[in-house]
Each structure stands twice: as C-alpha cells, then as structure tokens.
Amino acid sequence: MLPGMDPKNMARMMKQMGIKSDEIESTKVTIELKEGGRLVIFEPVVVQIEMKGEKSFQISGKVQEEEDAGEDDIRMVMEAAGCSREEAQNALRETGGDIAEAIIHLKGE
C-alpha cells in the first residue's frame, strides 16, 4: 500500500489495471528450503495477487526458521515407535525436535 493512499482508491486503480487481489485466511505458512530446513510464518497475512493470469503471493507475519531433524534422531524415533521415516520426521517437526515427545506422540501414549 502506498502511504497516504485510500485503500478503496488503490483497489479501484488495481482493478482498472487488471490486477486482482484477495486475502487468504490462514494460520501458518511453511516454505521448504532447497538447502534443507524450512521457514514457518505464524499469524500470517497472505494476499494473493493475480495479474495477466499469473498468481503471486505476498506473505507477512512472525517468521521462524526450523532445521531438519538429524539422521540419528529420525532413526531413533523410527526404531522406538515402529513407524515410517516420514512419520518420524513429522513427529519430530511437531514436537520441536524432542525425541521422547515424538515417540510418545507416535505411540499414542
């Protein structure tokens, strides 16, 4: 948004230029990084902008960087909980890397 510009006028100008924007209600946005790990945006404000058939997204919020769990941690959870690699990774992600909590979560205790 341009400083001092009325939001209604801005929306009208964007519409005249063929630009459509919609806010998407969301609780969390996760971006998987190519080199491993992820960015998690909490309490996001997500705006989808469509122009000439192309969609882009503007995201703002509280950003937290998360690392992938280590290979030893994943293997330990898999063996202790008798689960797949993907289940172990998800459990570790959900518990913030806490191995014991991930195993308890997977075992349903």
Q: Which fold has domain 7-66?
A: Ubiquitin Ligase Nedd4; Chain: W; (2.20.70)
Domain spans in the chain, listed from the N-terminal domain onward? 7-66, 71-107
The confidence score (pLDDT) of residue 27 equals 93
pLDDT per residue as tens, the chain (109 positions): 556 778 788 878 888 888 888 899 999 999 988 877 789 899 999 999 998 889 999 999 999 887 777 888 999 999 999 999 989 988 988 888 889 999 998 988 6
Quote the CA–CA distance of 22 and 15 in Å, as a whole number.
Answer: 12
Q: What pTM was computed for the model?
A: 0.57
Tokens of 81: 């909980």
Out of 1.10.260.40, 3.55.40.20, 1.10.8.10, 3.40.630.10, select the CATH number for domain 71-107: 1.10.8.10
The confidence score (pLDDT) of residue 97 equals 85
